Amino acid sequence: MKVFNTLSRTKEEFEPLEQGKVKMYVCGPTVYNFIHIGNARPMIVFDTVRRYFEYKGYEVNYVSNFTDVDDKIINKAIEEGVDASVISERYIAECKKDMEGMNVKPATTHPLATREIGGMIRMIQTLIDKGYAYRADDGTVYYRTRKFKDYGKLSHKNLEDLQAGHREIKVVGEKEDDLDFVLWKPKKDGEPYWESPWCQGRPGWHIECSVMAKHYLGDEIDIHAGGEDLIFPHHENEIAQSEAANGVPFSKYWMHNAFLNIDNRKMSKSLGNFFTVREISEKYDLQVLRLFMLSAHYRSPLNFSAELMEASKNGLERILTAVERLGERIGAASGDEMTSDEEAVKAQAEALKEKYEAAMDDDFNTADAISAVFELVKLANTSVTEESTKALALYMKDTITSLCDVLGIITERKEELLEADIEALIEERQQARKNKDFARADEIRDTLAAKGILLKDTREGVKWTRA
């Protein structure tokens, strides 16, 4: 199995630190609002990477954090007049709903930054003791970037170029060098804070991930992953902190997914092309979004458009229809052993399965893997007939289902509700809202959404459509 390592800029043979086990850390979202489809890409991509490792027999310890203390969270809390924890807890819950809709498996551990402050203080103190960090008079603790000899090895930036880029930037506080970055910062009025040896304050963003990875995976890990926007400075700074503090290489492999564009333009609120996963779920089953995200190689830029989403919707329908038809054949057919002609069909299917695995072994090429799945679907549609044995139908269904499961594609069609049942649930939801039982109202909406029924509240009443 080959993995493209951002550190070396080459595909490398994957060799875990411990035989049969993978320790993997993926940077998660900052929880101040609903996640957007840009957040969804790394979630889906690296969930698929995890699933393929498990398919290959590895035991995967998969850690993905929630950043629950940040300027954006604090600003939202001030805006609403609530504690920052109210904002973070709300949007962690909403994020988990969206992840479930996209069939992203829960991580082995989803650590929260606010619960790891003690570890952050200890790592910062270690860096100070080793001479890699220093305290300014106002209590801010900075990392001495120049002291870490390998700084820039991930982003392939050198300190001279970075220094040139900082010449116009005013030095904040009492930095020794423009390039030094914050490990701990003093509190401001109205902000959450923690006690530390340096001041009442909170951690910098970069130290959070270094500490959470160390706590749940150890000083050395196999894979660190995230969006390519995190390579610099976030992941570069993580390496500097972790390797200086722990004295060993931080991560053996670094994986990064490329950006997601909207109609060939960068996603931006100012351009009006910013979409949350929740908004997409109002138009499409999130399995369609997942198939779309995997339709290109994770290191290639991906363009989101209505046309491409419709193509993914049609592709998903082809898979579901084929599996449904195979299920019907299994129920109607007999014969526990394949005929010689069917053995030849099985051999073709095995070759396509090998093609699928070869694609995934080549740096998780999900685009080619999906092509192999569609070839299997075509083979099943043309080869499994009313005369076929139960054995062939069962083999084809199991093969397609297992390969789709690695991609996180659910092959069982969602049970469709009758219109009368939908209307009854909508009526119950309206009554729950009148009774101010908003938890029940939300539960009904989520239940309907899970069955592909999308609600829209309008002045004329509740409108619904099937996804």
Residues 73 and 147 occupy one common structural domain: yes
Question: What is the full DSSP assignment across 248-278?
Answer: S-SEEEEEEEPPEEETTEE--TTTT---BHH
For residues 86 and 157, state if they share a domain.
yes
pLDDT of residue 162: 81
Say yes or no: 195 and 252 in one domain. yes
Place of tokens 């994957």: 14
- Report the CATH number that the domain containing residue 230 is assigned in CATH: 3.40.50.620
Domain identity same for 183 and 241: yes
User: Does residue 461 sit in the same domain as residue 351?
Assistant: no
Structural domain harbouring 424 = 419-466
Tell me, yes or no, whether 347 and 198 share the same domain: no
pLDDT level of residue 170 (50, 70, 90 thresholds): very low
Least confident of 163-172, 275-284, 424-433: 163-172
**Cβ atoms < 10 Å from Cβ of 183:** 28
Half-sphere exposure (Cβ direction) of 81: Cα atoms closer than 13 Å:
0
Residue 168 confidence (pLDDT) = 43
So what's the pLDDT on residue 416?
66
Percent of the chain with pLDDT strictly greater than 90: 82
Q: Which pLDDT score, from 0 to 100, does residue 265 have? A: 84
| Structural element, H or E, at residue 303 | strand 302-304
Question: Domain with 382 in it: what CATH number?
Answer: 1.10.730.10
Asked if residue 412 belongs to a domain, the reply is no
What are the angstrom distances between the C-alpha of 415 and each of 324, 412, 420, 453? 12, 9, 15, 11
Last residue of a domain, one of 198, 228, 257: 257
Lowest mean per-residue pLDDT among 11-15, 31-35, 313-317, 445-449: 445-449
Position 268 in a domain: no
> Is residue 264 a part of any domain in this protein?
no
Closest C-alpha to 446, from 166, 152, 120, 94: 94
- Mean pLDDT of the chain, nearest integer: 94
Residue 42 sits in the same domain as residue 86: yes
CA atoms of 349 and 428, how far apart (whole Å): 48
Q: Are 182 and 140 in contact (CB under 8 A)?
A: yes
Q: Are residues 398 and 426 in the same domain?
A: no
- In the chain, the percentage of residues whose pLDDT exceeds 70 is 97
Task: Specify the range with the lowest mean pLDDT, choosing from 44-58, 156-170, 308-322.
Answer: 156-170
Q: Residue 173 pLDDT more than 60?
A: no
Q: Structure pTM?
A: 0.89
Q: Is residue 349 part of a domain?
A: yes
Give one word for 226, left, alpha or beta, with left for phi > 0 and alpha for psi -120 to 50. left
pLDDT in tens, 64-80: 999 999 999 999 999 99
Looking at the structure of the chain, the number of domains it has is: 3
Both 90 and 237 in one domain: the answer is: yes
Same domain membership, residue 348 and residue 227 = no
